[in-house]
Each structure stands twice: as C-alpha cells, then as structure tokens.
Structure 1
C-alpha cells in the first residue's frame, strides 16, 4: 500500500439516469464521445492519469492541483461550446469537483478521505460548473484566469469536519477575485447585499463571456403545485436500469417500490405514492420540476446496473429547493446484499432529514421480507404484473409468481398478502373465470389471515381484511382493520383510500372526505382505479362536484368498467344533469344488458339504508330498470301461494334464458334443487318467502339467498314457455316437464 499527495478530479454527468431512460444507447454514446474527444486529450495534456470511469463519471489523479483545475476549466469550456451547437436533447453536462490531499494507492486504483471529499465537492458544483475544496483553493487562487465564489464551510457525508468549498467562475475578467460568504447573521443587510451584488456581477460577466454556461435556477418553492407538508417530504423516482438487460427492469422497479414502501412506514416523513412518481417519471423533466409538480422538498433518484451476481447501485438525495445534493452513494455489491443496500439508503435518508423513529418503526424497518432471494425475485415479478390488472392472463401470471415465492419461502408474508389482494379483487368484481365468488372470498380471508399471522403489521393484509369485514356487515372490525393498515403504513395512499371508503359506507361522510383528501395528496396522479374509488367516496359523501371529474377520468381510462358508468349515471342524476345521467345509464345497459336495481340492492345490502336508497333513487332517475333486461311483469300475472309451491314440488323446469342459454332445473320435495346447462352443473336449496322464490347455490352470488318472482308468460318472447322466472341476475322462460 502506498500513500502520497495528489490532486483529485471527479466528474459526473448531470441527470444521467433520466437521460438514459429517454435514450439509453444515445446517452452512452455521447458519454463515450466526450471521453475520447474532450476528457482524455485534456487529461493527457495536463499530465493526469485516468484512474477509472464509474458508469456516468470518472476519477482522475494529477501531480499538480493547478494542472487539475486547468484541465477542469478547459473541459467545461469545450463542453459548453459543444452543447451550444447541439439540440437540448443531445447535450450532456458535467459537474466537476477538485480536491488536494493525501491518497492511498492500491494497484491502479486510489482511495482515501481526499477522494471522498472530491466526490462530495463535485455534488456542490452547478451543471456545467466546477467546485473545489479549500485545500485546492489555497494553491490555485491567484494562478488561473478564473474567479471564485465561496460556499463557506459545508458539512458533507462521512467527513468528520466541515469542508471549505468554492464555486469556480469561468470568466477571465474575474481572474483572482473571490467573493466570500459572510458568517455573522447580525449585520447581514449591508455585507450580504454587497456580496450578492458582487456575485451577480461575477456571474453576469461569466454569462457575457460564456452565454452557453447554465446557471442554477432559482428555488422552485413559489411554483410548487401543493403547499409543502409540515414534515420532510420525499419522492422516490423510479430507479433506472442501465444494464441494457430488460431482465433487470423488474429489479429496478422492485427496488423503487420497496424503498417507497419502507419509507411509507415512517410517520415522520411524507412520501409520494408509487403510481404518481412512475407517471411523472415518464416525462423528461428536471428534478426540481418533478418536485414542484408533486409538492415535495426532496427527491431520491438512482440507477441500477447488473452484471452476473453483482449489482452497482447509484443513489442521490437532492434538496429540490436549493438544487443541491444532500448525499450521494455508489454501492458495488453482490445481489445477496440487496436488502443491506436498501437498509443503508433508508437509514441515510432518515439521518439526512433528521427524522426520529419510534421503537415500532425501527422494528418494522429492521424486518427483512424474506431470506430467500429467489422468492423475492418472484415476488417482484408479481408486483410488476399486478400494477394494473387488465385480463385473465395477467391475473394468472401474478398469482403464479406469488405462489412460486410462497413455495420457496412459506413464511413470506408479503407474498401471502399479494394473493389476498388478487383474491379480493376477483371476489369484488365477480371475475368468475378464475374462481367462484365463494372460493375467491375464502382465499382472500385465508391469505390475509396467513400474512397477518406472519407479520401482524402487514398493511396490505389489513386493507384486504377490512374490505371483507365491511361487506360481511362487521363495521367495527372493518374500521379497526382499516385503521391498523394506516398505522402500519402512514404514507400509504391505498390504505387511506380504503379507510375513506369504509368511513363513507358507515355514515362518517365528513371523515371519509378528509381521509380521501390525504390519499390524493399522497398520490396526486393516481391510477384510474384509484380515481374511481375517490369519485365513489365523494359521491357517497354527497360531494358530486368533486366526484364526477374523477369518475369521468376513470371512465375514459377504463371504458368497459361497470362501476365507472354506474356511479357516473347516479352522480349526474343526483346533480340534476338528467341528460348526462341517461347517457351514462344507456352505455351501462349497452355493456351489461342485465343491469338492474334489484341486483344493486343485493350487492350493496351492507350499506346504510339512507346511502342505499340515495344510490338506487339516482340510478332509477338515470333510467336503470328494476329487473334484468328491463323486464316489467304485471301484478295480475304473478304466481303466488299454492300455485307457486306446486311449481317447485318435485318438478322439473325446461327452458331458455333471455340470453339464449338452454337450461334444466329440478326441485325435490325437501327444498333441494339441481341446475344444469351445457357448461354448468350446480346444486342448491330453495324456499318460498312472501310469494318469492329464493335460491342459493354453492359459490353463487354473494353466498346468500337471492329472491325473485315467477310470472305467467304473457310476453311475446318465447311464446311456447308457460312461465317467466325473474331474479336480480337473470330472466328465464320455462315450462314444466311432463310428469
């Protein structure tokens, strides 16, 4: 091991990850071009040694700090001229940091605190600019045709003592001039004003001399879309996979998701939801613009590069108000160390933002989701699939990945909660192509229960459980589960949205609105499904003016979603817009011809009576019929009493559904029934109540008795049929089979 004094230059591309996301190959090509055409010739001319390149940066050693700074100045001047001739999308800008100090030499590489200081100083430079340490400044302050602006003493990461730092002003007219920061706050008005004028003169001269050099923009605080929260606010931008291997996309997304999820558990932070950051990341905007749009003070950005079993992860936390980097770190680790990297990033964010953790939060953050990295990989794949469910194959792939994760690690709580989430979605939306409603409901209960057995603080499992309990009429338990989800993850928009829904359907309308407002602040660009949920909550709380725009946006994105048309029809009618209400109802009936009020009265029988009647009244006003296919039987044709009982006492029906499906249904004397079509064979039980025929079949609609009426057939449709059986789900024409 060798030690000696050296000047260290570190350069880093500004916004490399975001540029790579837009044009990965082009960005890499431009970086390599700058290396060959600018950096390497200048390094050679000034007797430097290129130690290594680091993805989007480079480390150079010089014997003389004067040579190091001359090299940096020439590089930035050449880059500025090159950029002036290029379209904005093809420009690369570098930040350069220079330090002088003792280094450790190991083979071709160099290490030590002086190298670390150069790296930290680099983050203080403006795009297209240079920052130097006090040690470097002391040697070069009168030896180059540039000026300097003192940044004072800077506290930088992993360096015990504050480090003096200076901006380099690239203007020969300012040669040898230095503007110093004032330390005393008591007489700031005169000295600071003089200093400000001097800085403006220097930077103004620099712009005159080099109009292509970009000066850091002023604080975006006045153009934030939302007021900043009263706690440190963070947006974790999607990590960029710079491997060139699509197989690592799910890993980069998974790392982003996990950081958001883990930070969301910290009550002392305000963390933007994943959908909003992924949505805004698709637009080529500066970090400060992103922060302004999301209304956060800090932005975390990073990249991931995989090579075999090794990962290189770059992370940077940026203060979007000042534009400065609070800290930056590069991790060159084995894939097996991924959780350790996540823990380190989270702890550094919490430390940098001076957030205090409760004991419970410390325990949650210390918990590793699984010790099996293959199981974790399958879990990440499931999460990526499950962002937006669209078809049966997406559901099946998602479930397959979750199940593989569980097979590899049966105690992986997050994977069990993932299955619960899919199952409750299938159950709520009647996606019977996967499971019957009864099976989906049981799977959701079982999977959520298993997840909570393994991890009592699992927010997703509590959320699923709350929805199940609400529909089962267990309001108090549903409220408790929803509150537990919010407590476990106090920055989770989904948990707040779920709590708002439960509050809305238990009569707490004002609280529901307040919780939904919190959810939308955490997720200001929510996915269509969440927009629909928010619209439903506002509609239920009688705030249609707020609900309708959200539901209209959801309907545009989800044109075939039944609830979007259903609730819009009702909301329009509630607001007195009968024309729009009728149009929405007509579209609903076009998509789902069997839509009817009786069905909705069964579907929402767990609602408070006032809310249920409000909804049914609005739907009726919009034009939704009482029974499927608009069936309207005459009271005089209705079968009742003994005649009704005789139709199901050891009798067999042969008939056809309104949709054309042939069926046979047999009833025995004990109240059992068997129903069969070409594709279905099920059994159930029947009873007569209030001149209605009530049935329930295993795994059928909501697992409860569903009642309807029988009419003598006086309609023109299927005139050969003797009777019409109407239920909330179907209209069937039938005759009795011969004895």
Structure 2
C-alpha cells in the first residue's frame, strides 16, 4: 500500500434527504448540474475527486491552500446559485478540510486525514467551511479570509479532540458548541463584545452608529467578501479620510494590495482581478465593498456588470435586491433599478429620482433611457425633451460640485460629464428647450 501526505476536502449537502423527499427529480438534476461545476473547481486547483456517495464528495489535493481555495470557490458559487430559490429549496454544502498521511488503495484513499475531514464537515455551518488546525496553520498566511477558532471538538469515531477553525460564509453562522459556551476563544469573546457596541466599521467613512443592535455576523471588515467578527485593533482599521484621493493614489502606484481594509483598496483590487480574468476574486472584493453601505455608484455598476456577465441579469437583480434590503443606500437602490428592462426599468428610475432628487448619477441614466440609442427609431419629441432636461440636471450637479462625491474613480465621472456635454449640445441644436419641461415625466 502506498502512503503519502494529502489535503482532503469532504463536502456534503445539508438536508439532502428532505430535498429528495420533496422533489426527487428536481434535486437530482440540480445535484448533477452542480457536480459538473464543482468537479471543474477541483480540477482547476489541482485536485481530484476520489470518492462519491449520494450527496457527498471526497477530494484529494497536494496543497492545503488549493483545497481551501476550492472550498471557498464552491461556497461562493453555491451562494450565487441559491439567490433566486426559496430558502427551503436551496442546496447548501458543508465542507471540512484536513491534512495528513493517507493510504492509497487503487483509486481510493483511507486514513485518519480522510476520517477527520468527514467529521469536520459535520461541524461546519450550512454554507460554511471547517478546517483542522494543521490546515489553518498552512493557509492562514496565504488566503485573505476570516478564520474563527472554534476550539477543540470531540467528534464521532475520532479518539482525540480535533482543534477546528471555521470560515463562515456571508449567510453562515459560526458553528458554536452549546456545551462549550463557557469556554469561548478570544475571537468569540471579541465577537460578542463587538455585537454589544452597536458600531459598524465601514470602508470609507469612519464610524457609523447603529440605531438597532447588530447581529454579531453583521459587523463588517473588508475581507474577501465574507463577514467576520471584528478582531483587529483600532490602528489596523484606520480608514482614509478622503477615499477618492486614496483610490487615485492606489491607481498611480499600481499593483495589488495585500489584505485591503478600505473601500479604495477593495475597489482597486477588484478592478485588477477583473482585468486578469480572476472573476471569483473580483466578485469577492466587489461584494465586500458593496456591503459597506457607501454611496459611491461606480463600484456597484462594475459589480452588477460582472454578475450579469457570469450569472445573467436575473441573478444580478437578486443580488442587488438582497443588498438593497441588507445595506440600503441610494447607490444600491439605483443599481437595483438598473437591473430591470424596458418600461419597468424606466418607471423605477423615475420613481428613484422623485424619492432621491439629489442623487446626481440617476439623471445620466434617465437621459440614457430616453436617448436615441435606447429608443432607436422610436425616439419621440418628448423623449428628446426628457433626455435634454435630465442631462441639464446632471451637468448642473457637476458644475455645483454635487457629482464628485458619488464616484470613487473620478475618471469615470469625467467620462460621463464629457458624454453629457456632447449629447446636451447636440439636443440643443435640434431646438429642444429645458425650460419648456416643467417636470420629468415618463
């Protein structure tokens, strides 16, 4: 028998028996579809699937880092796929990862590392990942995600306690052990204390007080698209006083930022990752930034475009419906409206402007809705008047300095202003008059 050291990933579907009982054909079709994608993730990171049984899979990797990256990719993918589904219809995985010596018998693997991975999987929260201490030590300096020390756990058929760490997903709770409630780790104590403080640290605006108590996992730090307990010192979380200047400085300096803790850093990294074709990393950075509750519109537009390109407009609409419910801002409301089509998109834009007349970027989109490109040969005199009026309002906001605060990347704002000047001048030559339009109506 051949012995070797390997990283083992074990994944299992939560509530698989219930899903099968409620809709056997549909669940099996979903599982087959997801398995194809999951197998691709495993192969991409240099692993192989060595065992499957119903709803569970076991995978082997030469690297604990690549095994963990695969797990994160799987959970990110499943979360996106589950957005349009009702909670009781969602397919969610628990994932456990261990590393150690295994015995290879034909194409199968046996050994304590395999058994521990399977037991760690049962400790993970739905949508979450649980690692052994050895895996945590191997990956903590290489992957910028939150790790929560959940301490030693006694698990079935393992003769010794297993020290475990959790990577909770955005919707996954930390897997607490009710029998160990008096034995909280420092990370857990910090989590409880942070919850009581009613303060959220956000990426570009310092401290924002909350009127209502926050759930522990609603306390955000700018990490890899995942919510985590606040564990850093106040010095670590010092935020730029002028995020626009900070972003400009990062662009001039170039290069990716290690472990970004601010909106400018996350946006800078997301753009670089997107340019390199690393869509999962870009998605993670954009999502973290999107949940900071800021009013900058350009990162939201880039994130929505990325989701549409990879998952389609319906998923993008669901993502922004969720963001607008969880962390509502004018930026999330506007970008959510833009995920619709035709008359509904136009009606939502007009409703948005009536509710938020001071959010200048919205006028650019309203003008676009009534432009010749949108209306094609159907553009009417009323369309041209509305386009002209919306562009005039947009340019007025720019002249008064009310446009700048809504863009982290000022080059995008400058490009919009240039386009608006050209279109406004062209419409003026056609004889349309802003003064002739008392209000903006569809």
TM-score range normalised by the length of the shorter chain = 0.3 to 0.5
TM-score of the pair, normalised by structure 1: 0.25
Flag the structure with higher helix content: 2
Higher relative contact order (CA 8 A, sep 6+): 2
TM-score of the pair, normalised by structure 2: 0.42
Pick the structure with greater CA Rg. 1
